[in-house]
Amino acid sequence: MQSFEELSAAFAARFKTRHFPLYPDSLYDPAEYFLGLGGKRIRPVLCLMGNELFGPIEDDAWEMATALELFHNFTLIHDDIMDKAPLRRGQPTVHAKYGSSTAILAGDVMMVVSYEYIGKVRSPHIRKLLQLFNQTAMKVCEGQQLDMDFESRAVVSMDDYLKMIELKTSVLLAGCLRIGALLGGAGLGNQDIIYDFGRNLGLAFQVQDDYLDCYGDASKFGKQVGGDILADKKTFLLIKTLEVADAAQRREIGVLKNAPPDEKVAGMLGIFKACGVGSWALELKHQYHAAALQRLDDIAVTSKRKEPLRHVVELLLQREH
């Protein structure tokens, strides 16, 4: 069994190639620029680890891992446009650097090329793999639409938010693991369990992401701290605050909506602190963390084979960026 770090390095070496044509460079260079920003490549490595949990890594797993990483980056380019985000991984986003129209097209071609890699798969499970990929992609888009819908809704329940982040974040982690497990020869029972493991891991990861958006170190987080506040996004922190805030705090939240950026972020962080939602978010993260580990324990393979995935859980949920 290989560690996350070993598989990440192996995937990075394979992925470090040009994925797009040279012409027109005004379209394809921005796509290459975004891939060049790097990242931990968590999702493709989870696909490989899902495969290796049940058997030797298949050549097809590398093709699916590449497709999944390209799909993920497609979503990030488009998400940045919708969120008006200036930074991604500490560097200018594609739309900030090249313009929104080019960024939309760069994301589109990234999605198309992901299917080219799926087209290289020779597994007899190709129909199921394609179905899983498409279902996952659709759910991610559904989650992003709900995320945008919530921006214009005065009230979003915690249940609604949980459903949204499950679609937007968790299903991709879960789908990567299940695709890898299918290629590794896992039975339906183990496929279901590893999917649920990924779902809980994704929920914990997103709670942490919401937390870090407000309390993370900008130099480590790689994104604008307070970006969710400036975008009026309904996050775990805001939804919980609105549940527990008193009348005066609610009025202040309304006033801060139109405040200058620095004042808005500082004011909302003050309300979050007064309502104790930072500590609450960390406790919620720990609950999903524990649920993920329990589902990992439930997978019917030897404990030793699960150690690399156990390490991934700790790696992802103890991060500062």
Q: Is residue 133's pLDDT more than 50?
A: yes
Please report the pLDDT score of residue 23 as a whole number: 97
- Which of the pair, 227 or 267, is modelled with greater confidence? 267
CA distances to 34, 80, 85, 218 from 90, rounded to whole Å, are 12, 13, 11, 8
Residues 6+ apart with CB under 8 A from 283: none
3-class SS string, 178-200: HHHHHHCCCCHHHHHHHHHHHHH
Residue 90: pLDDT band by 50, 70, 90 thresholds? Answer: confident
CA–CA dist 54, 65 (Å, integer): 16
- CATH fold of 1-46+54-122, please? Farnesyl Diphosphate Synthase (1.10.600)
Whether residue 24 is preceded by a cis peptide bond, meaning omega within 30 degrees of 0, is: yes
- Write down the pTM of the prediction: 0.90
Sign of CA dihedral 234, 242, 265, 286: negative
What is the phi/psi pair of residue 72, to 5°? -60, -45
* In contact, 181 and 51? CB cutoff 8 Å: yes
Please state the rounded mean pLDDT for residues 52-76.
97
* In contact, 182 and 125? CB cutoff 8 Å: yes
Residues, the chain: 321
Q: Is residue 215's pLDDT more than 90?
A: no
